[in-house]
Amino acid sequence: MSGDLTESGDVSGGVRRGGAGLRTRTEVAARAAYVLRGNDRGGLTVAAPRLYPHMWSWDAAFVAIGLARLSASRALAELETLFAAQWRTGMVPHIVFSPDAPPYEPGPDRWACRDVCPDAPPAPATSGILQPPVHALAVRRILDAVRIADAAEQRDVVGRIRALWPALLAWHRYLVARRDPDGRGLLTIYHGWESGMDNSPRWDGPYAGVIPSPQFTPFRRSDVHALAGAATGGGAAGSAAQRPTDADYRRYQWLVEELRRAGYDDARVQNSLDFLVADVFASAIFAAAGEELATVGDELGLEGVDELLGHAARFRRGVLGTTDERGFAADLDLRRDAFLRMDTIAGFAPLLCGGLEPARQRRLLELLASPAWCGHPGLAHAVPPSTSPSAPAFDPVRYWRGPQWPPMNWLLIWGLERCGEPDAAYRMREATLDQLADGVFAEYYHPFTGEPFGGRPQSWSAAVALDLLAR
């Protein structure tokens, strides 16, 4: 079964033509399962067949969360494949390249990780950076899901989680030791790609300081070319209008070159790289992930539980230390030692890690529901845009500068449940499922028209639908 069927724009597998979408939520679930099976390449699920033909780190975690609703064993295999590419330092790379996939840039030769860094695995080929640490959330989901399986599968999955445990601990320890060397409780990122929110206005200031060498020759972009031949949606807005600009991409590519020249050595990178930022959203995910992983370790009698809880507390303090009077959080530009206060979805980071006092949590929830965010009267679905429509940098079409992203909805729903806000979580869950009822499972959506953009069918959007429908 091939996922390529729907990325070309034909979503006939259970979807009514003419934009009416699927008839029932049962059909949405069936379609989502169809997409994940179609994008399955054996040991991994590609993020999207044409646009993202390899394994991406945080995509894989969301895929595992969705697959847990179908097969806990297959869900765990997704994480096992990803962690088989873990670096000797404990870093989990943001791309694991599949040798049989179509060409992609930047590809293994451009990253050249095995050539310049002894910590990179000899195989498979990987990128040299990371993505937000959502993986522990998937492990927790898998362990919960296997409770209803037969005894043999329960034994198998629990045994495999035990076997994966040292790699999970090494990943968390890497983040603490190498990405928070000053003990701020905030994760340092080397590239906007590490945040997962590539061209978010969060990074406009830091990227302004990235000056490519005049001798640097940019390489061919895979994203625009992959979308150019597909039905990408957006009416007059073509593939280029939906993606980061060429000027942005020149900076992205130059940072890859800087990282390669530094041999992906954390100390050298932190001393030399043009871009160095403390990411508050990834830090909040990490705090929550530490708690989730600790619950798994406690249940299975594994080592490191107190250590994980200590990490979680440290990063929660770090996140809360960036907040304003509304509880809205901010990133930190480490090159300039200045907060980056932008109206992006990352400001709601405290809703993931918790810890706000009740009055400020209430103000943050009021902000989330306000016309600046989910309460904007023009929204097709009441879920948060990646950038506030009231922000000067808002663009309803261009990637992380305005469109809505199903996995971000999922994280906020999950965070609201953890923060003791079930009513707000329920409202966002229903709005997200209404958005995904088109059966397209796009990478992201136009906030006002509801049009699907980017890669499709995107595995993580299908996975989000499966998990939310199974609640």
Question: Length of the chain, please?
Answer: 471
Instruction: Pick the closest to residue 457 from 295, 231, 273, 264 (CA basis).
Output: 231
- Catalytic status, residue 443: yes
Q: Which residue is catalytic, options 194, 198, 248, 438? A: 198
Give the sheet arrangement for strand 277-279, strand by strand: 187-189, 277-279, 331-333, 338-340
Q: Which residue is catalytic, options 40, 279, 395, 443? A: 443
Calpha distance 291→308 (Å, rounded): 7
Instruction: Judge contact between 433 and 469, C-beta under 8 A.
Output: yes
- Catalytic status, residue 27: no
DSSP β-bridge partners for residue 16: 21
Residue 255's H or E segment, with its range, is: helix 246-261
Instruction: Pick the closest to residue 374 from 401, 340, 342, 348 (CA basis).
Output: 348
Q: How many CB atoms lie within 10 A of CB 334?
A: 19
| Half-sphere CA count of 418, side-chain side, radius 13 A | 22
CA 17 → CA 9, 301, 434, distances in Å?
11, 52, 17
Instruction: Pick the closest to residue 440 from 1, 34, 26 (CA basis).
Output: 34
Pairing of strands 331-333, 55-56: unpaired
DSSP β-bridge partners for residue 445: 404, 452
**CA dihedral sign, ordered 399, 402, 403, 408:** positive
Q: What are phi and psi of 45, to 5 degrees?
A: -110, 120
Task: Tell me the three state secondary structure of residue 417.
Answer: helix
Contacts of 125 (CB under 8 A, 6+ apart): 96, 97, 99, 108, 111, 113, 114
Cite the active site residues: 198, 443
